[in-house]
């Protein structure tokens, strides 16, 4: 969450239309993606009553649907192209590059670190041999899937066609930039 909000700050600080668009879209995407991730952690905790990653392993063998959905939202969180997290991070970086080159480069390093800890989590939780303690781990249920599918559709739709959101938010952002530009003169 902190690393994702860094893109918001970077995009806003650049005071460029592209940076503002990236920041606003990042706030929206963060709410959707992180909301889904917290719901999935809740599903996991509800069944296992632990958040200790070292206690798991091999969950994908007994809960493939849960695993697939978790992988999808994890990849969206780390900014995989084609998913909404990529678009907002890219716009924030693009909008800030000419203004803050050093901070933009540092932000790219942050993307690599974020990818590392998300992939580490997926590896510990889903891969490897199945911990015998979880051989009867229940699969995600229909109610939970119904809750997550709209979020999944939003993440995919905005990753493929971000104009859906940008056409709505950009007019307001342009007004803010106009006012901000007048104040800075």
74-123 pLDDT, tens digit each: 999 999 999 999 999 999 999 999 999 999 999 999 999 999 999 999 99
d(CA 109, CA 66): 30
Task: Name residue, tokens 């803050």.
Answer: 100
Q: What is the mean pLDDT of the chain?
A: 93
Q: Identify the burial level of 142 via C-beta atoms within 10 angstroms of its C-beta, where 0-12 means exposed, 13-18 middle and 19 or more buried.
A: exposed
Is pLDDT of 185 > 70? no
Q: For residue 131, what is the enclosing H or E element? A: none
pTM over 0.75: yes
Residue 15 carries which DSSP code?
T
Q: Up-side HSE of residue 36: CA atoms within 13 Å toward CB? A: 28
Arithmetic mean of pLDDT, 144-153: 98
CB atoms within 10 A of CB 69: 22
The sign of the torsion formed by the CA atoms of 130, 132, 133, 135 equals positive
Which tokens belong to 55?
Answer: 């206690």
Q: Residues with Cβ < 8 Å from 60, sequence gap 6 or more?
A: 67, 126, 127
CB atoms within 10 A of CB 13: 16
Alpha-helical runs (H) found in 78-162: 84-97, 101-126, 142-160
């Amino acid at each position: 969450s902190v690393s994702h909000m860094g893109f918001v700050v970077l995009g806003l600080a650049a005071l460029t239309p592209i940076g503002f668009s990236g920041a606003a879209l990042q706030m929206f995407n963060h709410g959707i993606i992180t909301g889904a991730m917290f719901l999935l952690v809740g599903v996991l905790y509800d069944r296992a009553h632990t958040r200790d990653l070292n206690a798991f392993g091999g969950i994908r063998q007994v809960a493939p649907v849960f695993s697939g959905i978790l992988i999808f939202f994890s990849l969206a969180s780390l900014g995989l192209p084609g998913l909404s997290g990529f678009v907002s991070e890219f716009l924030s970086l693009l909008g800030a590059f000419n203004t803050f080159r050093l901070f933009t480069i540092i932000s790219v390093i942050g993307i690599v670190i974020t990818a590392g800890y998300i992939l580490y989590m997926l590896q510990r939780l889903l891969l490897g041999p199945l911990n015998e303690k979880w051989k009867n781990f229940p699969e995600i249920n229909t109610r939970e899937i119904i809750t997550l599918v709209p979020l999944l559709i939003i993440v995919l739709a905005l990753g493929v066609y971000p104009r859906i959101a940008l056409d709505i938010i950009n007019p307001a952002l342009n007004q803010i930039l106009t006012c901000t530009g007048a104040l800075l003169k």
